[in-house]
């Protein structure tokens, strides 16, 4: 079963001004990311505004990414939804269109106890083939539910296709607990862009990074340098990755991502209401920050 690794990019979802999904811009984004050297694509997650999309829209995006990638990179589709039947429907669709695997965020808003969390994942993982890989996805600061390491271990023991987890909270001790699952063979992908190199050093297989969807260059270079054993170069690029993460507000507002993509010459698209695009003043301030970053980093603003 294919696992996630390296720079796995959590993609944005570009919208037309009328609020419809811009699938052509989605394909353009795929081509840029593949050209820049990311290892995997991960659409329709938190960065992709998943909960503001209908099931049909999510399926169209998944089909666009799988078709555009055409086997050149690994593609995982995020399928976590507000209801269990919707999650299962999205997982089965991803499997049917030839995705390499899926990610599933914990249920959101309503609190779950550990037994409910375990049974949820056992049910959804069992809805697809036992050799179709599934990543758990824990982002407690957004989902309001936390997936403990012992619960994740029980899920993995019961589900042969649950091969790893994406963890998007900066807790090193919890990360270590995940890394111990199944004797260390459980794949751990971390979502903290500011400390990518540290997570690699701990033993994580890579990052699932929203910032890399806008500026993949520093993240790709961190990973290449780390694999080559050039820690000085990896540290240098990590500082640049941390700087662009700060400029893009750590992924807390996708409007910054979309405006930055526009400034790089791509179709970043619009936000879907109730969130709004940046104001003209905010966009101008971002332009100045990005121009300074690119000059300092030796990265072209034009993608």
Residues annotated as catalytic (active site), given as ranges: 137, 166
Q: CA 234 to CA 236: how far, in whole Å?
A: 5
Q: CA 91 to CA 85: how far, in whole Å?
A: 10
- The per-residue b/e assignment along 37-72, b for 16 or more CB within 10 angstroms, e otherwise, is bbbbbbbbbbbbbbeebeeebbbebbbbbbebbeee
Handedness of CA 23, 26, 32, 35 (dihedral sign): negative
Contacts of 74 (CB under 8 A, 6+ apart): 2, 4, 5, 8, 39, 40, 41, 100, 101
165: left (phi over 0), alpha (psi -120 to 50) or beta: beta
- Rounded to the nearest 5°, which phi and psi values hold at 151? -70, -45
Q: CA 258 to CA 269: how far, in whole Å?
A: 6
The answer to whether 62 and 98 have CB atoms below 8 angstroms apart is no
Question: Which ranges constitute the DSSP H helices of 37-113?
Answer: 55-69, 84-96
């Amino acid at each position: 079963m294919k696992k996630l690794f390296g720079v796995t990019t959590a993609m944005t979802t570009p919208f037309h001004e009328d609020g419809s999904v811009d699938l052509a811009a989605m394909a353009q984004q795929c081509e840029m990311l593949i050209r820049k050297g990311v290892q995997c694509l991960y659409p329709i997650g938190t960065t992709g505004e998943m909960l503001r999309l209908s099931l049909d829209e999510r399926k169209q995006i998944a089909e666009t990414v799988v078709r555009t990638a055409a086997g050149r990179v690994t593609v995982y589709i995020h399928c976590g939804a507000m209801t269990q039947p919707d999650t299962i429907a999205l997982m089965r669709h991803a499997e049917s269109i030839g995705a390499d695997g899926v990610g599933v965020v914990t249920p959101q808003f309503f609190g779950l106890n550990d037994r409910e969390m375990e049974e949820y994942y056992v049910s959804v993982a069992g809805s697809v083939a036992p050799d179709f890989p599934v990543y758990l996805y824990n982002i407690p600061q957004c989902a309001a539910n936390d997936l403990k390491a012992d619960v994740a271990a029980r899920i993995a023991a019961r589900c042969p296709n649950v091969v790893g987890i994406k963890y998007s909270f900066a807790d090193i001790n919890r990360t270590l607990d995940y890394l111990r699952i199944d004797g260390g063979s459980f794949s751990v992908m971390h979502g903290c862009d500011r400390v990518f190199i540290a997570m690699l050093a701990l033993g994580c297989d890579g990052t699932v990074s929203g910032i890399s969807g806008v500026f993949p260059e520093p993240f790709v270079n961190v990973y290449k340098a780390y694999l080559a054993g050039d820690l000085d170069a990896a540290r240098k690029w990590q500082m640049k990755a941390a700087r662009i993460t700060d400029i893009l507000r750590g992924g807390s507002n996708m409007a910054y991502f979309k405006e930055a993509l526009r400034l790089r010459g791509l179709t970043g698209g619009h936000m879907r209401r109730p969130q709004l695009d940046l104001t003209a003043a905010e966009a101008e301030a971002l332009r100045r920050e990005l121009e300074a970053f690119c000059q300092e980093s030796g990265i072209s603003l034009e993608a």
